[in-house]
Amino acid sequence: MAEREALLRIQDLSVTFPSGDGRVAILDRVSFEVGENEIVGLVGESGSGKTMTSLTVMGFLPPSGQVAGGQIWFRGKDLLRLTEEEMRRVRGREIAMIFQSIRSALNPLMRVGDQVARVYQLQRGLSRKEAYQEAVRVLNRMDIPDAERRARAYPHQLSRGMCQRVLVAMMVACQPELLIADEPTTGLDVTIQAQIFELMKDVQQATGASLLLITHDLGVVAETCQRVVVMYAGQVMETAPVEPLFAQPCHPYTQNLLRSILRVDKVVEIPEADVSLGEGMTYGLRGCRFALRCPVVLPRCWEEHLPREEVEPDHWVFCHNYG
Ligand SMILES: Nc1ncnc2c1ncn2[C@@H]1O[C@H](COP(=O)(O)OP(=O)(O)O)[C@@H](O)[C@H]1O
Ligand SMILES: [Mg+2]
């Protein structure tokens, strides 16, 4: 979208799943970018397609899911056209993902130190012993107290916050160019959440990696991210650098979202909402999925593909009403 070359450029991505006689588009022409060395927040109510977007980037779409259109450009290659073998090489080395459920991302039967060490063995070709030393060092860097002892623990012996640090340690070990973190701190204590985001930010700055941070916490976005992508029901509504998005939201959905958050002083979580639009999500239907709830809906909102309007450089709004 912007002129600069992005690290990741998702373009008009549509993903469908079977439903009844037809297919629903759980992603409808999703487009956004993550630049080099940039932290981008992907926000939206639950069910808006954030996880599905990242699973598609990783090549982990569930079998019944189908890419119905679009491209995912990463370093000049379209990830959707790679073979499984080529994709395996991209995963871990170039793009890594931290999943929503933390414990399931760790192997329950393996000591955490060995798990981190394995990454060093596989990705960097270190010997077993060197890899283990490196693992303890990186666990130390993650502020894990008594890292040497904790390295010998199994995931179930550690708190969720500790497990999360182990995962961040694994990501440091991978040194991916792009890290996708899907609600990495959901369910954790607020102070621990803040520490983990601080940690991720440090790691991002130290390694020069880019980070796509999926969250429904706009406070985290404001503090951690440089740019924001707002999704609703499988469509991107608006994307902008953090400051203009908060100061001058242009999409009625973003405006609603920010208003609802500002009302309740300091509570910055996006409320859970039912975004299952039934037939409104049928693949091939045109129109804006927010039309049903939009206070300024126009007749063409139901019928025409979302336009992409440039508000100012790097600030895009996908709305018929703009301008
Ligand atoms: N395995 C699946 N098969 C079919 N539909 C799914 C599957 N997983 C999720 N969905 C649907 O895809 C949509 C997007 O879900 P998801 O990407 O998980 O949203 P988010 O991460 O924003 O909460 C939702 O409507 C959800 O019901
Ligand atoms: Mg999700």
User: What distance in Å separates the CA atoms of residue 96 and residue 81, rounded to the nearest whole number?
Assistant: 19
> Is a pLDDT exceeding 50 seen at residue 264?
no
Q: What angle do CA 9, 11, 17 make, to 5 degrees?
A: 120
What stretches of the chain adopt beta strand conformation (E)? Answer: 8-19, 22-34, 39-43, 66-74, 77-78, 95-98, 178-182, 210-214, 227-232, 235-241, 309-312, 315-317
Residue nearest to atom 16 of ligand 1 (CA): 49
Once rounded to an integer, what is the mean pLDDT over residues 253-268? 69
Residues 148/100, Cβ–Cβ less than 8 Å = no
Centre of ligand 1 to C-alpha 130, Å, is 41
For residue 266, what pLDDT band results from cuts at 50, 70 and 90?
very low
Residue from 27, 51, 236 to probe ligand 1 pocket by mutation (most atoms less than 8 Å from CB): 51
Kindly give the number of the ligand 1 atom that is closest to the alpha carbon of 53: 17
pLDDT of residue 313: 92
> Is a pLDDT exceeding 90 seen at residue 186?
no
State which residues have CB under 5 angstroms from ligand 2, the bound ion. Answer: 50-51
Centre of ligand 1 to C-alpha 280, Å, is 15
Centre of ligand 1 to C-alpha 24, Å, is 11
Kindly give the number of the ligand 1 atom that is closest to the alpha carbon of 48: 22
Q: How far is CA 319 from the centre of its chain?
A: 23
pLDDT of residue 280: 80
- Give the chain's radius of gyration (CA, Å): 20
pLDDT of residue 149: 96
pLDDT, mean over the chain:
88
Residue from 19, 26, 32 to probe ligand 1 pocket by mutation (most atoms less than 8 Å from CB): 26
Half-sphere exposure of 198 (CA within 13 A, CB side): 9
Ligand having the closest approach to the CA of 55: 1
What residue type is assigned to position 300 of the chain? R
For residue 279, what pLDDT band results from cuts at 50, 70 and 90?
confident
Kindly give the number of the ligand 1 atom that is closest to the alpha carbon of 100: 21
Q: Provide, rounded to the nearest whole percent, the portion of the chain with pLDDT above 90.
A: 56
Q: Which residues line ligand 1 (CB under 6 A)?
A: 17, 26, 44, 46-52, 62, 64, 276
**How many C-beta atoms surround the C-beta of residue 172 within 10 A?**
24
> pTM for the complete prediction?
0.88
Q: Helix (H, G, I), strand (E, B), or coil: what is residue 271?
A: coil
pLDDT of residue 269: 52
Higher pLDDT, 219 or 109: 109
> Which tens digit of pLDDT belongs to each residue from 49-108?
999 999 999 999 999 999 999 999 999 899 999 999 999 889 878 998 877 665 567 888
Task: Single out the residue of 171, 120, 115, 118 nearest to residue 142, CA to CA.
Answer: 171
> Which tens digit of pLDDT belongs to each residue from 143-170?
889 999 999 999 999 998 888 889 888 8
Phi, psi of 303 (to 5 degrees): -115, -30
Ligand having the closest approach to the CA of 272: 1
Kindly give the number of the ligand 1 atom that is closest to the alpha carbon of 19: 4
Q: What is the dihedral of CA 226, 72, 252, 47, to 10 degrees?
A: -100
Read off the tokens for 191: 């102070």
Q: How far is CA 82 from the centre of its chain?
A: 21
Centre of ligand 1 to C-alpha 27, Å, is 9
Once rounded to an integer, what is the mean pLDDT over residues 198-225? 87
User: What distance in Å separates the CA atoms of residue 168 and residue 115, rounded to the nearest whole number?
Assistant: 12
Higher pLDDT, 8 or 141: 8
Centre of ligand 1 to C-alpha 320, Å, is 26
Phi, psi of 132 (to 5 degrees): -65, -40
User: What distance in Å separates the CA atoms of residue 237 and residue 50, rounded to the nearest whole number?
Assistant: 13
Domains of the chain in start order, with CATH, are: 8-94+212-317 (3.40.50.300)
Q: Provide, rounded to the nearest whole percent, the portion of the chain with pLDDT above 70.
A: 92
Once rounded to an integer, what is the mean pLDDT over residues 192-212? 84
Q: What angle do CA 56, 57, 58 make, to 5 degrees?
A: 90
> Is a pLDDT exceeding 80 seen at residue 267?
no
pLDDT of residue 71: 98
> Is a pLDDT exceeding 60 seen at residue 201?
yes
Centre of ligand 2 to C-alpha 143, Å, is 28
Read off the tokens for 301: 């909102």
Residues 15/68, Cβ–Cβ less than 8 Å = yes
